[in-house]
C-alpha cells in the first residue's frame, strides 16, 4: 500500500489536504528524503536555505509537504510554519552522534509548541547506510521519546540516500491508528512504534 493510500485513511473525509511539516537539523537529509518520496533525482542536493514545498494530487487528495531549512539561523523561523500542521516529520542524522543533544533539544522544543499540540510525530533515524549510524532504538532511548505522552509517535530507521525504510515509515503510519491533531487520552498513552530494518539483509 502506497503513501497516498495510507494518508487517505488518516483523513476520514474525502477531498482533504494533509499538511506535513518536515524539520530537522541541517545536513540531516530532509530534502533527500522528500525527493525519495516524490521519486525524484537525488544526485544534486543543495542545503535548503529557506523552504521547499512538494505537493502531490491523487483522486481528490492533496499531500503538501513543507521542507524547512535546518541551519541554526533559520530555526527561529520554523514557528512561522506550525499552523495547521497535520503531521510533523523530524529527521535525524543517525551517524552524527556529536549533534544528538542538539537535535534532541530542538525536538523537545517543537513538542512544547502550542501550535503543534497533539500533532503526531514521525521521526526518521536517517543515514542508516553508514556503519557509524546509531540504531533507532538507541536514538529513541537517548532522546527519551518514551516520555512523549500527549500524542502518537513513531521512529523509523531509514536511508534517504538508498531509499531504504523511507516508504515504510509512511506506510506504517496506519499502525498508529490516529486521526491527525487528536490528542492521546492519558490512559492510552504512550502509543508508539520503533521501526527498524536490518542492514545485514541488503
Phi/psi for 51 (5° steps) reads: -155, 155
Alpha-carbon gap, residue 122 to 90, rounded angstroms: 6
**Which pTM value belongs to this model?**
0.82
Q: Which three cell numbers stand for residue 28?
A: 540531516
165 annotated ligand binder: no
Helix (H) or strand (E) holding 154: strand 153-157
Alpha-carbon gap, residue 146 to 73, rounded angstroms: 30
| pLDDT band, very low/low/confident/very high, at 199 (cuts 50, 70, 90) | very low
154 annotated ligand binder: no
69 annotated ligand binder: no
pLDDT above 70 coverage of the chain, percent? 72
Determine the distance from the C-alpha atom of residue 161 to the mean position of all C-alpha atoms in its chain, rounded to a whole number: 16
- Averaged pLDDT for residues 26-45: 85
48 annotated ligand binder: yes
| pLDDT band, very low/low/confident/very high, at 38 (cuts 50, 70, 90) | confident
| Contacts (Cβ under 8 Å, ≥6 apart) of 185 | none
Range of the domain at 169: 3-201
What is the pLDDT at residue 168?
74
CATH number of the domain residue 29 falls in: 3.40.50.300
49, 71, 105, 156: the catalytic one is 71
Q: How many domains does the chain have?
A: 1
Q: Mark whether 49 is an active-site residue.
A: no
Amino acid at each position: 500500500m502506497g503513501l497516498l493510500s495510507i494518508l487517505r485513511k488518516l483523513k476520514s473525509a474525502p477531498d482533504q489536504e494533509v499538511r506535513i511539516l518536515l524539520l530537522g537539523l541541517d545536513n540531516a537529509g530532509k530534502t533527500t528524503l522528500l525527493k525519495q518520496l516524490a521519486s525524484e533525482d537525488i544526485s544534486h542536493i543543495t542545503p535548503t536555505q529557506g523552504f521547499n514545498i512538494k505537493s502531490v494530487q491523487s483522486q481528490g487528495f492533496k499531500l503538501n509537504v513543507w521542507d524547512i531549512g535546518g541551519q541554526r539561523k533559520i530555526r527561529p523561523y520554523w514557528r512561522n510554519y506550525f499552523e495547521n500542521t497535520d503531521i510533523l516529520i523530524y529527521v535525524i542524522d543517525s551517524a552524527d552522534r556529536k549533534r544528538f543533544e542538539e537535535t534532541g533539544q530542538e525536538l523537545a522544543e517543537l513538542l512544547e509548541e502550542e501550535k503543534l499540540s497533539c500533532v503526531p510525530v514521525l521521526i526518521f533515524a536517517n543515514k542508516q547506510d553508514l556503519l557509524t549510524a546509531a540504531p533507532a532504538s538507541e536514538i529513541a532511548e537517548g532522546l527519551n521519546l518514551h516520555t512523549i505522552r500527549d500524542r502518537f509517535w513513531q521512529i523509523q530507521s531509514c536511508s534517504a540516500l538508498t531509499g531504504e525504510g523511507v516508504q515504510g515509515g509512511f506506510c506504517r503510519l496506519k499502525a498508529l491508528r490516529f486521526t491527525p491533531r487528536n490528542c492521546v487520552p492519558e490512559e492510552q498513552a504512550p502509543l508508539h512504534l520503533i521501526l527498524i530494518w536490518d542492514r545485514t539483509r541488503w
